[in-house]
Structure 1
Amino acid sequence: MTRRSRSGRKLWDTLSKIATRNVRDAQRTVTRSAIRSAVKQGEAMSKAAQRVLSGVASPVPPPVSRGGGRWEEGSWGLGPLVQRRYRLFIPPGASASRPAPLLVLLHGCGQDSASFAACTRAAALARSAGCVVLMPEQSSQANAQRCWNWFRSPARVAAEASLLMAIVEHICEHRPVRPDSVFVLGLSAGGAMALTLGLRYPDRFVAVGSHSGAAPYSASNAAQAARVMHGKGQPDLHAARLQLAGRSPPPLLLLHGDADPVVAFDNALASAALWQQLLPQAPVPAPPRRVQRGQRRPYRVHGWSSEGRPYIRLVRIEGLAHAWSGGPSSQAFSDPSGPDALRIAWPFFMQCLAARAMPRRARKLAGLA
C-alpha cells in the first residue's frame, strides 16, 4: 500500500470515528429530550388525572400554619354514614376562656377546603381579625364536581343544609368559639348554600354572604339551575317564607362581578330583592358609593338598613368574572386584581354583630340607623 493510500485510509478512519461520535451524541441528546418530554407529559397527565379524579381544578397540599395559629382537620355530620371532612383554623389567643367569632367558608365547584383556603387566604384574615375559620368540604361522591347541592330537590337541599349545620354546631360545642357570633360566606355554589343556611337557620347566624352565587330556592334540578345561573330564574318567595316560619332572615352580604359569565350578576339582584320581600316593612336604601383602592378593580356598594341595623349590602365589582376577588393567580376561580373579598366582608359582619347588641337608640347615635 502506497504512502498516499495509507494517508487517505487514515483520514477516512478519522472522519468515520468523528461521524460515529456525532451520531452517538445526537442519539443521546434525542433520548434525553424524549425522556424529559415523557416525564413532563407524564406529570401533566398525572395532574390532569388528579384534577379529574378529585374534582378539584387547582389541587394544593394541605395548608400549614405560618405566622401563628394552627390548622386542624376533622369530620362530622349526621352520623357515621353521613359525614363531611372539614378544616379549621384557630388563631393565636383563642381559647376556652377567650372564645372567638366563627366564620364558616363554603367553597365553590371544582374546589376543596385546601384549595379554598389558598384562594381566600383565610388564615391571614383569621389571624388579623381574631376569628376561627371553619371550611367544610363537599365530597366527590355527593357531587362529582364537589358543588354544594343547592339546586336539588327540597329534601336533598334540606339534608345537606342539616349536615352543614351539624358540623357548625359541633365546632361551636367543642372548639373555642362564641356560638352567638357565627357568620357564613360562600363562593358560587357555596354562596347559594350559605344563603340557604341563613333562611333555614336564621337564628344561628349573625349575617350570611354570597360571593358570585346563584339565588337560593330558585332551582330543584340541574336544568333549572343552568337557567338561574344565566339570570333566567327567580327565587321561590313562598318556599323561603315557609323556611323562615315568621322569623326575619339574617343580614345579607352579596359580592358579585358584573362581568361574570358563569353566574350572571342578576342573581345578586334577585337575592337582594328576595331579602327585601321577606321583611314586613321595606328596608331603607342608602346612597350608593364607588370605591377603588390602588390599582385594584373598583366596586360599587349599595346598602339597605332595617330598624336601624344594616340589612343588605350589595358589592358590585367592576370587570370581575367568576372568581374570588383578590385571590392568588395560582388558583382557579381567583382574580388577584380584585379587591380582597374577605377584607370587604369582615367589617360588614362585625358591623352587624355590633348593631345586634345595641338598643335602637344607641344604634342611631352610633350612626348605624
Structure 2
Amino acid sequence: MSLADNIEFFRHLPKMAGGLNGMGRTELPVGDSPLEEVTDFGSNPGNLKMFAYAPEQLAPKPALVVVLHGCTQTAAGYDLGSGWSKLAQRYGFVLVMPEQTRANNSNTCFNWFAAEDISRDSGEALSIRQMVEHAAIAHGVDAKRIYVTGLSAGGAMASVMLATYPDVFAAGAIIAGLPYGIAQSTQEALAGMYRAPTRSMQELGDLVRKASPHQGPWPRVSVWHGAADRTVNPANAGEIVKQWLGLHGLPDAPMSAGDVDGYPREVWWNGTGETVVESYTITGMVHGTPLAIEGQEDAYGAATKFMLDAGIASSWHIAQFFGLTKQAPIRTAASEESRSRPSRPQQQRAEQDRRSKRRNPPGRRASDVSGVVTRALSAIGLIK
C-alpha cells in the first residue's frame, strides 16, 4: 500500500482511532457488570486478563461463551454494551471475557495479526484457550457447547480461535472482523482492513487447515458486518464466509436468503439441514455491534460509540445461532413472561425506525483528516 493509500485509509477512521486494529476509541456505559476477574487460570503466555461470570442458576451441563472486546474497550464495558451477561443469566450459561492489557497493545486491541499470538498453543490464543479450560472444569461445562464471538479486533481474534482450536469451539460469531490468517504484519493488517484483497476459497480454507491438526468437522460460523463500515471493509464479511464455506464444502450461492428485522440474511446448511454458515448485512450501519434498544421493553445491551442501535439485537440472534435460546429461560423478566426473545415494538413503528436509521446511519461523523493521520502515524511510531 502506498502512503496515499494509507492516508486515505486513515481518513475514514473515527476521529480517535488507534489506526491499526480495526477499532476506534470508545466510551462504553459506566455501571456494574457481574464479571469477576479470575487469576491463576494457566501459564498465560499472552499476558491477558480473564474475567468470567457464572450465574447462580446454571443450566444442566451449561454452555460456555467467550466474548472478545474491541480496541480501547474493556471486558466489563463490552459486556454492558452488548448485554451478554444478561443473556447468560437468562439462559444459564457461563461467560468468559478475556481482556487485553496495555503492555501487549497500547490501544488494548487483541493482536489478531501477530504471528506469535495467532498460532495454536502460543501467545494470546493459548491464554484464551486456558481460560476456556479453567472455566469449563470449574462449572462442569458441556464440552460440545463452547462458543466464541467478538467485535472488530475481537472479531478477528474470534476468527483466530475458531481456526486454531476448531476442536474446542462448536460455533463462532464474527462482528466487523476479518478472516483468519490474512495478516501477520502491520502492512498486511492495513491491507486487509482497508482493501480486503480477494482470495480464493481454497487459499482461505488452507489458512485454517494449516492452523491445527484438526480434520473436521468444522465449527459453524455467523458473520455480521455493517454495509457502511469505513473502518473494516465490509468485503471482509464475504471473505470470512468464503473461508468457512470452503471448509464445510458448501457452494458460493446461499441456500436461502431473506430479511431478519429488516436486514438481509444469507444462510447455508449441511446435509442434515443444520445451518452452518450465516451472514447478516446491516444496511446503512457503520463500524460496531448492532443492537435493538429503542422501543424495547427488555433490551440486551446499551447504545454508545461502536455499540449501535440498529433495530436488531445481534447478541440475542447470536445466542440463538449457538442454540442457547432453545431451552426455556431460567430467569424470565417480569415484562417477558411468555417470550424468550427481546420484545419488539409495533411493526409499523419498527419499520419507520429502520428506514430512519438507513437514511441517517448510526455512528456517522465527520473526519478530522490531519488529526487522524497524525495520531495514526504516531501510534505506529513513524512520528513522535
TM-score normalised by length of structure 1: 0.71
Equivalent in the alignment of 2:248: 279
Equivalent in the alignment of 2:302: 328
What is the identity, as a one-letter code, of the residue corresponding to 2:112? Answer: W
The 5 Å alignment of 1:242-281 reads 242-245=210-213, 246-280=215-249
Q: Is the 8 A contact 2:229 2:286 kept in 1?
A: yes
Shift of the 348–74 alpha-carbon distance from structure 1 to 2, 3 Å rule, reads: same
C-alpha displacement of 1:57: 3.1
Q: How many residues get paired?
A: 287
Equivalent in the alignment of 1:94: 58
Q: Is the 8 A contact 2:256 2:268 kept in 1?
A: no
| Mapped partners of 1:221, 1:207: distance in 2 | 27
The structure whose RCO (Cα within 8 Å, separation 6+) is larger is 2
The 5 Å alignment of 1:141-156 reads 141-153=103-115, 155-156=116-117
- More helix by percentage: 1
241, 255, 265: which is aligned to 2:209?
Answer: 241
134, 144, 154: which is aligned to 1:180?
Answer: 144
| Mapped partners of 2:217, 2:143: distance in 1 | 19
Deviations 1:211-247 (A, max 9, x none): 1112221111111111111233256533322124422
Q: Is the 8 A contact 1:304 1:310 kept in 2?
A: yes
The 5 Å alignment of 1:98-247 reads 98-153=60-115, 155-158=116-119, 159=122, 160-234=124-198, 236-237=203-204, 238-245=206-213, 246-247=215-216
Q: Is the 8 A contact 2:193 2:233 kept in 1?
A: yes
What is the identity, as a one-letter code, of the residue corresponding to 1:103? Answer: V
Q: Is the 8 A contact 1:253 1:314 kept in 2?
A: yes
295, 307, 313: which is aligned to 1:340?
Answer: 313
C-alpha displacement of 1:351: 7.9
Name the SS of the counterpart of 1:269 in structure 2. Answer: helix
C-alpha displacement of 1:81: 6.6
Could you tell which deviates more after superposition, 141-150 or 226-235?
226-235
Name the SS of the counterpart of 1:162 in structure 2. Answer: helix
Structure 1's consecutive aligned runs of 4 or more residues displaced over 3 angstroms after TM superposition are 59-62, 80-83, 279-285, 351-354
Deviations 1:1-46 (A, max 9, x none): xxxxxxxxxxxxxxxxxxxxxxxxxxxxxxxxxxxxxxxxxxxxxx
Q: Is the 8 A contact 2:46 2:125 kept in 1?
A: no
Name the SS of the counterpart of 1:243 in structure 2. Answer: coil
| Mapped partners of 1:276, 1:156: distance in 2 | 25
Q: Is the 8 A contact 1:215 1:234 kept in 2?
A: no
TM-score normalised by length of structure 2: 0.68
Alignment pair present for 1:306 and 2:270:
yes
Q: Is the 8 A contact 1:126 1:133 kept in 2?
A: yes
| Mapped partners of 1:82, 1:76: distance in 2 | 13
RMSD: 2.6
Name the SS of the counterpart of 1:170 in structure 2. Answer: helix
| Mapped partners of 1:132, 1:351: distance in 2 | 11
| Mapped partners of 2:92, 2:253: distance in 1 | 32
Could you tell which deviates more after superposition, 236-245 or 75-84?
75-84
What is the identity, as a one-letter code, of the residue corresponding to 2:166? Answer: P
Unaligned runs of 5+ in 1: 1-47, 49-54, 66-70, 293-297, 355-369
Unaligned runs of 5+ in 2: 1-15, 17-23, 292-300, 328-384
C-alpha displacement of 1:205: 1.1
C-alpha displacement of 1:316: 0.8
Equivalent in the alignment of 1:317: 282
The 5 Å alignment of 1:44-123 reads 57-58=26-27, 63-65=32-34, 71-76=35-40, 78-79=42-43, 83-94=47-58, 98-123=60-85
Name the SS of the counterpart of 1:278 in structure 2. Answer: helix
Shift of the 76–247 alpha-carbon distance from structure 1 to 2, 3 Å rule, reads: farther
Deviations 1:71-127 (A, max 9, x none): 4221345427754222212223128xx331111100111111011111111122112
| Mapped partners of 1:81, 1:253: distance in 2 | 29
- More strand by percentage: 1
C-alpha displacement of 1:279: 3.2
Q: Is the 8 A contact 1:283 1:311 kept in 2?
A: no
Shift of the 321–284 alpha-carbon distance from structure 1 to 2, 3 Å rule, reads: closer
C-alpha displacement of 1:60: 5.5
| Mapped partners of 1:321, 1:232: distance in 2 | 16
| Mapped partners of 1:234, 1:352: distance in 2 | 35
How high is the sequence identity, in percent, across the aligned residues? 26
Q: Is the 8 A contact 1:104 1:184 kept in 2?
A: yes
